[in-house]
Amino acid sequence: MLKKRPPVVVVLGSVDHGKTTLLDYIRINCAKAASPTAGEPRPVAGREAGGITQAIGAYEIQHKTSNNSRIEHLTFIDTPGHEAFSKMRSRGAKIADIAILVVAADDSVKAQTKEAIKIILDSETPYVVAINKIDKQPEITKVKNDLTQSNVLLEGYGGNIPFQPISAKTGEGINELLDLILLTADLEDLQYDPDKKAKGYVLESKMDSRRGILASLIIKDGALKIGDEIFAGKSEGKVRSLENFLGKKIDRAEACAPVLITGFNSLPKIGEEFEVGKLLPTAPTAIAKIVGPSNAGDTQNKNLLRLILKSDVSGSVEALSEVIRNLPAQDKTIKIIEEGVGEITDGDVKMAISTNAAIVGFKTKITKAAENLAREHRIQIIQSEIIYELIKAVEEELLTEKEKFEGKLEILAIFSKKSKKQLIGGKILEGEIKVSSFLQVERNKAILGRGKILSLQQNKKEVKRVEAGLECGLIFESDIIIAVGDILISH
């Protein structure tokens, strides 16, 4: 027997236009309305790294319609705001029944707004527009005109796309927005069969060191129970545990509940469709033994940058991989030799040692053994909780050509000068100084120019190099007239 199905709603829009703040307001206030004695849910926006949502989250809420005639259920999907997560946003729209396009009244249509519009139109998802931040200095007419230029024709502006001005901060207009979503859902005639085996989509997957593989699912039809045999692409297994979006253990869930399960034998891909059915026996497969790096022989190629990527969840590592592959790399070629989910381990560092790779970690920790091994073998590891900071660090630390520091010398005495050649004395502060090296002349932290060491002496004997802590004399050729206190730096 078919039953009415709650809508799955995705929230799309540009970064900082208030998507997560809107979801926070809806979650918190709908939770209060549904259970006035329950504890207050914690807002997500303030806890997001950098104030940007970076993993898909799903929330189930209850809404009492404006005429107080009934309480309706809705499921919301939050999507990441940073441009690196465009695939996850697109996936969220395809999973959803209805989309909310959030546009800030004080910022209007931005590049990511246009991307969101394209995602909605390409997926043919019914949608409504929420013009947010009307508590600030709104320019609603400008927003409407800009949306028209982007082929979003609002009601009253030559089209039939419903819209609602709101403030996610004060709550103004949000009840009306929810009514609008439910009205749109009624027109779609959403239904499901609670007696059928569950079907739906994988929202997220990750490896937990204690519980094993965790998968966040959203059920679009049927019901999911503990013990069900489940498929998602090449991943399969039996549902061992089932939790609702609040983390409460349950035995059964129906459409359109977001749930967390354990039981998959491998990480299912996010966005993959799942279904419940009978597992078929499979023939044993041969496992290839890989000895040494896959690209052995070119580990000395300085123009080839090898990276090992680790992240907290598979969706994040996919997004990280995509944006790194598209970075402007000057004359370097980027090769991602491994992508994985979970902590950075000594196994990752050993792979980095054997392949001459750097490790990039997003929202993931590093084990003590891995940290010690990386320090011992001078393996570079870049980590951050914020995607744009991580990308910036990769660009600055790995892709930008840097001169290799060799040594630093402080000038203690000037003995003579003939044309461009100057006989001077100094002390090595760091590293070492070699004959025939080119040195940078620095005075009061300002770079004046460069010169070349023609001769090095120590205890009146010619030497080829002088190490840190020792004094020396040198003949230095440069257009710059050297002064006591100058610093010469060798690269």
Would you say residue 456 lies in a domain?
Answer: yes
Among 295-304, 386-395, 468-477, top mean pLDDT goes to 468-477
Q: Which tokens is 269 given? A: 């891909």
Question: Looking at the structure, do residues 392 and 448 belong to the same domain, yes or no?
Answer: no
Question: Looking at the structure, do residues 317 and 462 belong to the same domain, yes or no?
Answer: no
Would you say residue 289 lies in a domain?
Answer: no
The per-residue pLDDT for 219 is 93
Question: Looking at the structure, do residues 165 and 21 belong to the same domain, yes or no?
Answer: yes
Would you say residue 282 lies in a domain?
Answer: no
The per-residue pLDDT for 195 is 92
Res 52 pLDDT > 50: no
Closest C-alpha among 437, 429, 439 to residue 471: 429
pLDDT band at 331; cut points 50, 70, 90: low
Residue keyed to tokens 């013990």: 227
Would you say residue 88 lies in a domain?
Answer: yes
The per-residue pLDDT for 402 is 53
Question: Looking at the structure, do residues 75 and 175 belong to the same domain, yes or no?
Answer: yes
Residue 443 is part of a domain; what is its CATH number? 2.40.30.10
Mean of the per-residue pLDDT values of the chain: 81
Question: Looking at the structure, do residues 394 and 456 belong to the same domain, yes or no?
Answer: no
CA 94, CA 185: separation in Å to the nearest integer?
16
Res 401 pLDDT > 80: no
pLDDT tens-place string over residues 265-292: 888 887 888 999 865 444 333 322 222 3
Would you say residue 448 lies in a domain?
Answer: yes
The per-residue pLDDT for 83 is 45
The per-residue pLDDT for 85 is 45
Res 309 pLDDT > 50: yes
Residue 170 is part of a domain; what is its CATH number? 3.40.50.300
Question: Looking at the structure, do residues 325 and 387 belong to the same domain, yes or no?
Answer: yes
Question: Looking at the structure, do residues 25 and 170 belong to the same domain, yes or no?
Answer: yes
Q: Which tokens is 68 given? A: 């107080």
More confident residue, 242 or 401: 242
Which of 399, 422, 443 delimits the end of a domain? 399
Res 394 pLDDT > 50: yes
Candidate from 292-296, 382-386, 426-430, 467-471 with smallest mean pLDDT: 292-296
**15 vs 45, 123, 130, CA distance in Å?**
12, 21, 15
CA 408, CA 433: separation in Å to the nearest integer?
7
Rounded to two decimals, the pTM is 0.58
The per-residue pLDDT for 282 is 44
More confident residue, 106 or 300: 106
The per-residue pLDDT for 397 is 67
Candidate from 46-55, 209-218, 358-367 with smallest mean pLDDT: 46-55
Candidate from 143-152, 325-334, 368-377 with smallest mean pLDDT: 325-334
Q: What percent of the chain has pLDDT over 90?
A: 35
pLDDT band at 38; cut points 50, 70, 90: very low
The residue-averaged pLDDT of 446-466 equals 87
Identify any residues that bridge with 102 across adjacent strands, giving them in sequence order. Answer: 13, 130
pLDDT tens-place string over residues 156-179: 888 899 999 999 999 999 999 999
The residue-averaged pLDDT of 22-40 equals 62
pLDDT band at 302; cut points 50, 70, 90: low
The per-residue pLDDT for 196 is 92
Would you say residue 140 lies in a domain?
Answer: yes
More confident residue, 177 or 212: 177
Question: Looking at the structure, do residues 413 and 381 belong to the same domain, yes or no?
Answer: no
Residue keyed to tokens 């257009």: 479
Question: Looking at the structure, do residues 327 and 437 belong to the same domain, yes or no?
Answer: no
For residue 249, what are the domain limits? 199-276
Res 45 pLDDT > 80: no
Question: Looking at the structure, do residues 245 and 369 belong to the same domain, yes or no?
Answer: no
The per-residue pLDDT for 19 is 86
Would you say residue 290 lies in a domain?
Answer: no
Which of 341, 365, 399 delimits the end of a domain? 399
Question: Looking at the structure, do residues 203 and 126 belong to the same domain, yes or no?
Answer: no
Candidate from 24-33, 49-58, 111-120, 433-442 with smallest mean pLDDT: 49-58
Which of 343, 368, 399 delimits the end of a domain? 399
**147 vs 96, 158, 365, CA distance in Å?**
22, 12, 42
SS3 annotation, the chain: CCEECCCEEEEEECCCCCHHHHHHHHHHHHHHHHCCCCCCCCCCHHHCHHHCCCCCEEEEEEEECCCCCCEEEEEEEECCCCHHHHHHHHHHHHHCCEEEEEEECCCCCCHHHHHHHHHHHHHCCCEEEEEECCCCCCCHHHHHHHHHHCCCCEECCCECECEEECCCCCCCCHHHHHHHHHHHHHHHCCEECCCCECEEEEEEEEEECCCEEEEEEEEEECEEECCCEEEECCEEEEEEEEECCCCCECCEEECCCEEEEEEECCCCCCCCEEEECCCCCCCCCCCCCCCCCCCCCCCCCCCEEEEEEEECCHHHHHHHHHHHHCCCCCCCEEEEEEEEECCECHHHHHHHHHHCCEEEEECCCECHHHHHHHHHHCCCEEEECCHHHHHHHHHHHHHCCCCCCCEEEEEEEEEEEECCEEEEEEEEEEEEEECCCEEEEEECCEEEEEEEEEEEEECCEECCEEECCCEEEEEEEECCCCCCCCEEEEC
The per-residue pLDDT for 66 is 76
pLDDT tens-place string over residues 82-140: 444 455 566 666 788 999 999 999 999 999 899 889 888 888 889 999 999 998 887 89
Res 56 pLDDT > 70: no
Res 473 pLDDT > 50: yes
Would you say residue 483 lies in a domain?
Answer: yes
Residue 321 is part of a domain; what is its CATH number? 3.40.50.10050
Number of domains into which the chain is organized: 4
The residue-averaged pLDDT of 420-447 equals 88
More confident residue, 117 or 331: 117
The per-residue pLDDT for 24 is 86
Question: Looking at the structure, do residues 343 and 469 belong to the same domain, yes or no?
Answer: no
Candidate from 192-206, 216-230, 296-310, 408-422 with smallest mean pLDDT: 296-310
Q: What percent of the chain has pLDDT over 70?
A: 83
The per-residue pLDDT for 64 is 83
The residue-averaged pLDDT of 256-267 equals 90
Res 476 pLDDT > 90: yes
